Structures are given as structure tokens and as C-alpha cells.
């Protein structure tokens, strides 16, 4: 398997199974951070969990109500905030590198879709 990098407006995510330490990559047009395989797996899993939580909660909210939801693992913390149809995403890496990043609401749908298919190819 070869290196895969997917990108769209305001987001990018990548996977390089041949890299010695940092096989993953997440970022925007302005920044990026390499992740270990486990960090990338947790990132993708938690992102999917958060998106599913929004779908479940959305029917309980009025149109103008905002939502904030968090999920975490030993390696990272993630939060979505906004409306069920448009929310931003933040993460903090809890390992020794201490990184924080975020995506605008317009970038999250593409990132979410790409994260779900990243290692399928």
C-alpha cells in the first residue's frame, strides 16, 4: 500500500503505512501534524463517534439550538461545537507533542467522509 493524502477546502488527512513512526497526517490549508498509527485510528474513530452523536441528538434540538459534544481517548481529546448541520471540530493531542488544532464547520463534512475511507484504499 502506498501513501494516501486526501484534501478538500480547509482540510487534509493522510496515511503512509511505510513511515517509521508517524503514519498519519491531519491538518488544514494552514497547518498539519503527523500522527502515529494509533493516534490516527483514535482520531478517525472519535470523529465518527461525534458525528453519530450529533445525528442522534439533532432531532431533540430546536433549529436555533447549538450543540457541543466531546469524546476522548488516552491519546487525544476532540470536541464539536455548532449546529447539527454545521459544526466545527477541535482536537488536542495528549501525547508528548501537545498539539491543538481545529477545523471550520465548512471543512468538517469532507474531513469526516475522508476519515471514514482513509485506509480502505
Domain map (residue ranges) of the chain: 4-117
Domain 4-117 class, CATH top level: mainly beta
121 pLDDT more than 80: no
Q: Each residue of 1-44: pLDDT tens digit?
A: 688 999 999 999 999 999 999 999 999 999 999 999 999 999 99
State the average pLDDT for the chain.
92
**Among 111, 97, 79, CA closest to 13:** 111
pLDDT at 96: 84
Strands (E), 23-75: 24-27, 32-35, 67-72
φ, ψ (nearest 5 deg) of residue 30: -105, -20
**Residue that has been written with the C-alpha cell 491543538 in this structure:** 100
Between CA 82 and CA 16 the distance in angstroms is: 32
Between CA 48 and CA 98 the distance in angstroms is: 22
Amino acid at each position: 500500500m502506498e501513501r494516501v493524502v486526501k484534501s478538500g477546502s480547509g482540510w487534509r488527512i493522510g496515511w503512509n503505512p511505510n513511515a517509521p513512526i508517524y503514519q498519519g497526517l491531519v491538518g488544514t490549508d494552514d497547518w498539519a501534524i503527523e500522527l502515529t498509527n494509533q493516534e490516527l485510528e483514535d482520531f478517525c474513530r472519535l470523529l465518527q463517534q461525534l458525528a453519530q452523536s450529533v445525528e442522534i441528538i439533532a432531532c431533540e434540538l430546536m433549529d436555533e439550538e447549538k450543540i457541543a459534544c466531546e469524546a476522548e481517548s488516552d491519546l487525544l481529546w476532540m470536541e464539536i461545537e455548532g449546529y447539527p448541520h454545521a459544526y466545527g471540530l477541535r482536537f488536542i493531542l495528549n501525547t508528548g507533542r501537545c498539539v491543538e488544532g481545529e477545523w471550520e464547520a465548512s471543512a468538517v463534512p469532507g474531513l469526516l467522509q475522508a476519515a471514514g475511507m482513509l485506509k480502505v484504499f
